[in-house]
Amino acid sequence: MRQQRWWAVLMVAGLAVTGCGSAARTESPSGESSQKQQEQKLVVWDWKSSEPAAADYIEKAKADFAARHPGVTVEFVAQPFDQYYTLLGTAIQSGKGPDVMLFNGGGQIRDRTDALLPLDQYVAEDKSRLAGWEAFGKDGKVYAAPVTLQGHPIYYNKALYEKAGLDPANPPKTWDELVDSCAAIKKATGAKCFALGNKEGAGIQFFMSGLGSGILTPQEYDDWVAGKRDWSSPHVRRIFELWKEAQDKGLNNDGANSTAMFNDIFPVFETGKAAHIIGLMSDIGHWKDFSEFLPPDKLGVMQAPVAVEGATPSLPYDGGIGYAVAKWTKDPQLAADLVRSLTSTDALTAFYAKAGAIASDTTIDVSQAGAAVSGIVQEIKTGKPALHVALSSKTLDLMGRLSQQLLSGSATVDEVVEQLAASDRAG
C-alpha cells in the first residue's frame, strides 16, 4: 500500500515537471476563470522605470491610470537593457509574461508582432497628438504607442567653429563645405571632424540616417522607407563611399572600430576632440546629455550636408520607444488604457523635462530649452523616418560588421553593397 502511494507521488511529480518544459508555443493557455476572483493586476516590463530621470514620468502615468481604473495594481519590472530582448524572447516563447512592454521602434518590434496585440482601435484618439507611429507599425497595423521620438540630428560644437574663424550660426550646407570647414577646424584646434564610435556597428546606422537625406533624392528616400530599396542606385552606393571617404580623409577620430557608441564616443565630442557628432534625440547622446560640458549656447544642430544634387535635407526620426500590449493579456482594453496613460501629455511632459527626451507629444512647449532643441522640434513636421530603421535587424547586424570592414579596408564598397542587397532581399 505504501509503495503504491510512493509511486503515485513520483509519477505526479514527474508529470508536473515535464509538463512545464514543452517547446515553443504560439498561443498561451489562459486561466480566465480564476482571474475574475482575484484583484486585477497588470505587469509592465521595460528598462526605463528604474532610472531616476524617469521617476516623475512613471509616477504621473500611474496616477493617470489609477484615476481611471482604481483597484487595478500596476507593477513595473525594470529589466537590464542589454538582456531585455533576450528575456522578452523567452517570455514570448513560453507564451506568458508581462501584459504591457516597452519596445524600441523599428526592427525590434516588427520582428515580434506575432506576440503583440494591434492597438489601432484603442489609440485612435491619440493618433494626431502623438508623432512617431510608423516605427511601431507593420502591415498597416499599430502595435505600440510612441513615448519618445528618436532620431539622428547632427550636433556641432560652436566653440570650435569660433576658434577656427567660422561662423557658428551658418554651419556648412554641402558635403564639400563640411570637409573644408573640418580642415579649418583641424588646423586651428586639432579637433577631428566627426566623433565616430563603431565598435558595436552602430556608427554606420547613425551615419546612414544622419546624412542620408543629403545623399538620396526625396523620391529615393521615400521609396527606401516604403520598402522599395534600390541597392544598385549610385546614390545608395554613395552613402557607403562617403563612409569610407570620411575615414580615408582622416575626418573620424582614431580607433573608431574599437570605440563604443554607447558610451565611449560622446565624451570625445563633449570635450572638444571632435567638432561634429551624429547623435540622438532621446535617452542619451542628446542635447541635455551634452549640456554638462557644452552649454546650450555652444551646441548647434545642423541639417544633413548635401552631397548629391537634388537631395533635400530633412530630420531623420522615428518613434523611439513605445509601449505595446501582449497578445496573451487577459483584458486587452485595460492594458491598452495603461498604454494610453503612459503616453498622456502630463506624463510625457515630465519625461521631457527630467530626462531631456524629445517626447512624442507634439503639444509640449520646449521654448525654454535652447537653440538645439527648438531646432530639432521645428524639424519634426518636415522630418522623415530614418533610413536604417527600415532595415531588418539581421541586415543591420550585417551592416555593422561590413562597415567595420570598410573602415579597416578589408572590404570594398561594391562587396558591401552587394551583400547588404542580398540580405535585404532575403528579408
Partner 1 sequence: MRGALTERLAPYVLVAPAVLIILVLRLWPLVLGVNFSFTGDGELNGTPVGLGNYVELAGDPLFRTSLRNVGLLVLLLPVAVAIPGLLATFIYLRVPGNRVYRSVYFFPAVLSPVIVGAIFNLMLGFDGPVNAALGALGVGPVDWLGDPDIAMFAVVGVHIWATFGMSLVVFLAGFSTLDASLLDAARVDGASLRQSIWHVIIPSLTRTIQFVFVTTMIGMLTSMFGLLFVMTNGGPEGSTYLPEFYIWHEQGQMNRPALASAASTVLFVVMLVVGLLQISLLRRSGRQD
Query: Taking CB under 8 A as the criterion, which residues in 207-236 touch partner 1?
Result: none
Asked if 26 interacts with partner 1 (CB under 8 A), we say yes
Closest residue by Cα to residue 64 from 346, 370, 257: 346
Question: In the chain, how many H helices and how many E strands?
Answer: 18, 13
Q: How many Cβ atoms sit within 10 Å of the Cβ of residue 74?
A: 21
Question: Given the rule CB under 8 A, which of 126-134, 220-228, 360-368, 405-413 is the region that contacts partner 1?
Answer: 405-413
345-355 vs 55-68: helix axis angle to the nearest 10?
170
Q: Cα 118 from chain centroid?
A: 20
- Which of 201, 319, 332, 383 touches partner 1 (CB under 8 A)? 201
Q: Which amino acid is it at 109?
A: I
Q: Does 409 bind partner 1 (CB under 8 A)?
A: no
Nearer to partner 1, 258 or 412 (CB): 258
* Cell triple for 340: 494610453
Instruction: Considering the complex, state which of residue 35 and residue 83 has its C-beta at the smaller distance from partner 1.
Output: 83
Least distance from partner 1 to the Cβ atom of residue 394, Å = 6
> Do residues 143 and 359 lie in contact, with contact meaning Cβ atoms separated by under 8 Å?
no
Q: How far is CA 90 from CA 23, 25, 94, 95, 97, in A?
A: 11, 11, 6, 9, 9
CB of 6 to partner 1, least distance (A): 7
Please check whether residue 310 is in contact with residue 320, taking contact to mean a CB–CB distance below 8 angstroms. Answer: no
Contact 329, 117 (CB under 8 A): yes
Q: How far is the CB of 89 from partner 1 (least distance, A)?
A: 6
Considering CB under 8 A, how many residues would be counted as binding partner 1? 40
Q: What's the sign of the alpha-carbon dihedral 44, 45, 47, 50?
A: positive
**Interacting span for partner 1 (CB under 8 A) from 2-10, 134-142, 156-164, 377-385:** 2-10
167 half-sphere exposure, CB direction, 13 A CA radius: 6
Taking the C-alpha atoms of residue 246 and residue 176, their distance in angstroms, rounded to an integer, is 11
Note whether 259 binds partner 1 by CB under 8 A.
yes
Report the nearest approach of partner 1 to the CB of residue 23 (Å): 5
312 touches partner 1 (CB under 8 A): no
| Nearer of residues 22 and 219 to partner 1, judged by Cβ | 22
- Do the bridges between strand 154-157 and strand 299-302 make them parallel or antiparallel, or are there none, so unpaired? antiparallel
Q: Report the residue from 10, 11, 12, 226 that binds partner 1 according to the rule CB under 8 A.
A: 10
Task: Work out which of 4, 5, 17, 140 binds partner 1, going by CB under 8 A.
Answer: 17
Question: Of these, 18, 128, 367, 368, which contacts partner 1 (CB under 8 A)?
Answer: 18
**What stretches of 236-349 adopt beta strand conformation (E)?**
274-278, 299-302, 317-319, 321-325
CB 149 within 8 A of CB 157: no
Per CB under 8 A, which region of 18-26, 53-61, 234-242, 300-308 contacts partner 1? 18-26
Q: Does 257 bind partner 1 (CB under 8 A)?
A: yes
User: Nearest CA to 46 among 96, 106, 97?
Assistant: 97
Give me the 54-93 binding string for partner 1, x by CB under 8 A, dash otherwise. -----------------------------x-xx--x---x
Name the minimum Å distance from CB 115 to partner 1: 10
Q: Which residues bind partner 1 (CB under 8 A)?
A: 3, 6, 10, 13-14, 17-18, 21-26, 83, 85-86, 89, 93, 111-112, 114, 199-201, 254-259, 264, 393-394, 397, 400-401, 404-405, 408, 410
